[in-house]
Amino acid sequence: MFGSRIRGKVLRAAVGTTGTVAVIGATQALWLQARYQKLPDALGPRSGVATFAQHARQLQSEGARLVFKPASKSASTGAAAAAAAAAAAATAVATTGCQDANGGARRKNVLFVGDSLVTGVGQDPNATCGPALPRAVAEFMAKYLGVDVSWTAIGQTGASVTTLHSKLLPAVVEEVAKKRASGQHLDVVVVVCGLNDFKHAYMSRRNTVASFRHDLSTFVEAIQKETGIQSTIVLPALPVHCAPVFDGVWPVQPMVARLASWWDREKEQLAQHVRKVAFVHNNEDERWFQSKYWAADGIHPNDEGYRIWGEHIGYSIAEHLLKAAQAAVPPAT
């Protein structure tokens, strides 16, 4: 996800902002860019359906395999996790209207729009299952909510939020139209962005946290205009501070962590002020700092890393949908 930029701009920006430490950090960043070897997008389908029936059999036979640690700190494997997922599925059916007119589970539709984290960069290049993050989110939601979950991934490697808006919004419009034509709607749109914005931070007047705030807000507004109030826009934080490519590289590592937190804070602020927008905090699981969950480039997750992150995002989305549905149920009289 590193792009080539004019080295002089980087160094001049560093000198003009934070002095000697920034110069060192900028030099190290350029060195990392020079060493970066681009990995391919994931092969395989860009859409699919995670069926609850398939995962229900898994729950019964071996218990849910929840890799991440839920915020509740409860056990996340084996029988306890299976019971928790089964209970959540029962709650979803009983209280959130997750059934169709014939008593069957109503499908949830999730659209992913984003950069290389959506196109699956970092996965096994020989696998042909499609991008891992959307699949992991959908599979977890199917288990947790007790419904089938349809997923579609629309991505462009290396895209900033402005590029996502200009290049991918037409595909979003097309996906919305497809769902409406079949009598459905998008329940969730997950927008994965930020890395290709803050990695060029303050190299020009267009690469500031203020410009990101404006561009993200504009993009979210454009999506909501197409999807309507039935859809929730989800903005996940990026676990860049855990990426092993920066491990032990001072001052790049703390500088990147600080920049990432600024950009993610804008996502959180937007979620706090705009209806039907939700922010997903980083999962601070200590395993994120282990290189075995990251790809060879040190900046993208590998298959298992995407699974951990996807389950974390899926859990947050499922909880958000459950709470929203329960809040909409009128109190008993």
92 within domain boundaries: yes
The mean pLDDT value for 298-312 works out to: 96
The sign of the CA dihedral 321, 327, 330, 331 is positive
Q: What is the DSSP letter of 241?
A: G
Looking at the structure, tell me whether residues 97 and 141 fall in a common domain. yes
**CATH number of the CATH domain containing 127:** 3.40.50.1110
304 within domain boundaries: yes
Looking at the structure, tell me whether residues 63 and 6 fall in a common domain. no
Burial class (CB in 10 A: 0-12, 13-18, 19+), 65: middle
292 within domain boundaries: yes
Looking at the structure, tell me whether residues 15 and 122 fall in a common domain. no
Looking at the structure, tell me whether residues 151 and 207 fall in a common domain. yes
pLDDT score of 207: 82
The mean pLDDT value for 243-262 works out to: 84
Structural domain of residue 203, as residue ranges? 41-328
More confident residue, 254 or 13: 254
Looking at the structure, tell me whether residues 16 and 120 fall in a common domain. no
pLDDT score of 87: 52
Is pLDDT of 12 > 60? Answer: no
SS3 330: coil
Looking at the structure, tell me whether residues 27 and 56 fall in a common domain. no
> Which pair of tokens denotes residue 317?
């989305």
333 within domain boundaries: no
**Cβ contact 144:185 at 8 Å:** no
Distances (CA, A) of 113 to 31, 130, 157, 162, 305: 30, 14, 11, 12, 19
As a whole number of Å, the end-to-end CA separation of the chain is: 55
Tell me what percent of the residues of the chain surpass a pLDDT of 90: 58
Number of structural domains found in the chain:
2
Looking at the structure, tell me whether residues 25 and 159 fall in a common domain. no
289 within domain boundaries: yes
pLDDT score of 85: 52
Name the pLDDT band for 289 (thresholds 50, 70, 90). confident
Q: What is the pLDDT of residues 114-172, one digit of tens each?
A: 999 999 999 999 999 999 999 999 999 999 999 999 999 999 999 999 999 999 999 99
Sheet hosting strand 188-192, strand order edge to edge: 47-50, 149-155, 108-114, 188-192, 232-236, 277-280
Looking at the structure, tell me whether residues 256 and 114 fall in a common domain. yes
Looking at the structure, tell me whether residues 266 and 169 fall in a common domain. yes
The mean pLDDT value for 2-22 works out to: 42
Query: In this structure, what are the phi and psi dihedrals at residue 246, rounded to the nearest 5 degrees?
Result: -100, -5
Quick one: which of 177, 174, 157 has its CA closest to 40? 157
Q: What is the pLDDT of residues 201-239, one digit of tens each?
A: 766 677 899 999 999 999 999 999 999 999 999 999 999
pLDDT score of 191: 99
| Number of Cβ atoms within 10 Å of the Cβ of 264 | 23
